Structures are given as C-alpha cells and as structure tokens.
Amino acid sequence: MRIITHLTVPARSGRSVELRAGQVLRVVDLEGTQVADLVAVSQADRHEYLDTSRTCSMLNRIYFRAGDQLLTNLRRPILDVIRDDVGRHDMQMAACDERRYQLDFGAIDHPNCLANLTQALDSFGFNWWEVPNPVNIFQSTPVQDDGSFIQLPAQSRAGDCVELRALMDVLVAVSACPQDYVPINGLQPTPIGLEVLDGVAS
Amino acid sequence: MRIITHLTVPARSGRSVELRAGQVLRVVDLEGTQVADLVAVSQADRHEYLDTSRTCSMLNRIYFRAGDQLLTNLRRPILDVIRDDVGRHDMQMAACDERRYQLDFGAIDHPNCLANLTQALDSFGFNWWEVPNPVNIFQSTPVQDDGSFIQLPAQSRAGDCVELRALMDVLVAVSACPQDYVPINGLQPTPIGLEVLDGVAS
C-alpha cells in the first residue's frame, strides 16, 4: 500500500482525517504505551457513525481483534480491522472529558479526549454531545470477572500499529489521550501517528 | 412511598413516563424472565441523557447494583438505584433494532426495542439516532473472561423490581424487549410494569 498522507497527532491533542472507501488508516503508537481514542462518522450521513455498543453486540464480545468489522448505528460495516500489532484495546470506557478530571482528580481545564475530538470535528459542525463513544485503540483496561476494569499501561510498543480499512467514505477523528493520572499512557502522554494509505496491495 | 401513576408496558412494546426530581420509578417484571430496556433524558436539556459508557467509566465496572448512581453524558447523577431485587443487568449491549433481526435472524419488521423507544419518545421530538444506548434491566448477558457475552434467560421472577430515584426532572422510556430468538426473555416476551412513586418514605 502507498501512503497518501501522514500526520502526527501531538501529545494530548486531536486531529481529523477523511478517507475514501477502500483507503486504510494506520494508527501508529510512535513512542509506545499510548492510547488513541478514535471516532468515525459516515460522510454520506453524519447521523451514521461507528457505534461501539452495536459493534460489541454484533461481535458478541466487548473486544475487537484483527479480522473484525466495526459497525455503525445502522449495523453496517464502517471499518475493517486488517492489522493489529497489539491485540488489547477497549470499547467500553467513555472518552476522558473535562468533568472526569474535575470529579476524580480535582484538575481544572485538563486536556481531555472529548475536547480533542470535538475540536478535531469542529470544522465539520459537530457539537460535543454529537461526538460518539470512541474506540480506545491500545487501551488496556480489561474487564474482570466481577465486571470491574483494571487500568493498565497500554501494551503497545514504539511503532506498533492498527490498520483500519474504510468500508464507506468516512470522517475519522483521533485523540492522543492526555490521561496522566492513571497509568494507561504510562503516566507520560505521547503523540500518535496517522497514515492514510491507498489500500491497494503492492 | 405512595404510587402516583402506574401503567403497563405491553409485551413487545414501549412507553414513556415523566418524573420530577425525587420521584421514584419502579420497574416491575410482571411475569418473570423479561428484559426492560430503559433510557432517561434530562427535561431541562435533551442533549443530556443517561450515558451507559460514562456510567461504567465512573463506576469503574460494567454492571450497576443497588446504591449506584447512573450518570449522564455530563457525568451528573440522573438516577439513583435504590432497590434491586435481581442483581443481574446489562449496560453493554445495544437495543435490539430492525437491522439486528434482519441480519442475524432473517426476520423482517420484527418488533424491536429501538422502534419501541423511538415511538415512546416520538411526541417529545426524538429521532431514532437520538435514542441513547439503553440500560437493559434484568438482562442476563454476563461478559466472560475472553470478552464474549453469554445470553442467558433473565433471572427476574414475577414481581421482582428495580427502583430508580430521579435526581433531576427526567423523561424515561422503557421497552418490554421483544427478543424471541435468543433466550434472554425465556423465548416468550411478556409485559413490564411501571409505577411512579412520590419518593417520600411512609
């Protein structure tokens, strides 16, 4: 596959990219142990978006893996997971937001994924309450027998990636998670790389 | 507590009720082994609603139990779980919808929770894509070690209930789940009782 565009999502911030159906988004953990919150919306209808709950329901499990299709709120495939170097991600936890840092850590104006995603989608006319629940790539917060999460450092190492093929024209936003109170990012938020590939086997 | 209003959600259908802050909604499994999908929206701001993902994040677990507060997308408490006769519910699986029955069972025009909830909220101006992910009361679909769901019959018996105190003025919609292809409702969907109580200890 040939790289069409690439960009860096700076640590603690967000960016958006647009993909045509068939193109591939490579999400790269550039330095390791870094979570990337990702949302995806159909270009044809902004009311259709990658829906974590319907994806889990259709997969009949709460984790995705290579070979899975992620689905929209119309249960249509939107992204195909064609490569996964890590095998440990999350689809249950909400994006961190301003209130999360206030309530749990007493931190005011802390950078957060919801603000990053909202800002990344701002020029496309999204309000914060329209930002879907994200897929948390590289996030290692597995669910225990009693239903509780353990919050572990991401298992991704520098250069590890996930590749997602767009199955429709899609707008994607990614936040390099700014969480530095719990160890999911190794207490040191770092950037995420995004590469858009033409999707053609070379 | 004194009952202010009560109604029956007929099998396979949906209804809405409005509660003032402090009032209590009692959700009753009238005949046993029946799931009730519930959504709740703030009356003051329809963009603020009971958010299953943020609730799980703040509880740090995927199941709720008596004593828990369910939260909105602003991480504000909206419902307080003051009684739970069963102790087994779900907040992960999407409402069943038209596409679920088409894709997984080849059934066309099957009654479904999303249509029930949308219809119950129709007079309040909601579109289907604005119906939040529901809390699935009495649904027994526990997550296994590998992340997969097992779909078991609801453990609720006739008369078992959950009581939810409204912590703000709230619009609630409930669907008596029409699922009859998997055994979550014992393969025989039945009605759900709703009672609004004044919330005053008697």
Across the interface, of B56, B133, B147, the residue whose CB is closest to A93 is B56
Is pLDDT at A85 greater than 90 in this prediction? yes
Q: Do A53 and B56 touch (CB under 8 A)?
A: no
Q: Do A52 and B53 touch (CB under 8 A)?
A: yes
Q: pLDDT, tens digit, for every residue of A43-60?
A: 999 999 999 999 999 999
What pLDDT, on a 0 to 100 scale, did the predictor assign at position A48?
97
Across the interface, of B54, B58, B143, the residue whose CB is closest to A62 is B143
Question: Do B29 and B138 form a contact (C-beta atoms < 8 A)?
Answer: yes
- Closest by Cα among B171, B161, B163, B183 to B19: B171
Is pLDDT at A155 greater than 90 in this prediction? yes
What pLDDT, on a 0 to 100 scale, did the predictor assign at position B196?
98
Is pLDDT at A1 greater than 90 in this prediction? yes
pTM: 0.97
Residue A124: strand, helix, or coil: helix
CA distance A185 to A177: 8
ipTM metric: 0.96
What pLDDT, on a 0 to 100 scale, did the predictor assign at position B62?
98
CA distance A99 to A119: 17
Q: pLDDT, tens digit, for every residue of B52-82?
A: 999 999 999 999 999 999 999 999 999 999 9
Average pLDDT of A15-43?
98
What pLDDT, on a 0 to 100 scale, did the predictor assign at position A142?
97
CA distance A42 to A75: 12
pLDDT band per the 50, 70, 90 thresholds, residue B202: confident
What pLDDT, on a 0 to 100 scale, did the predictor assign at position A202?
79
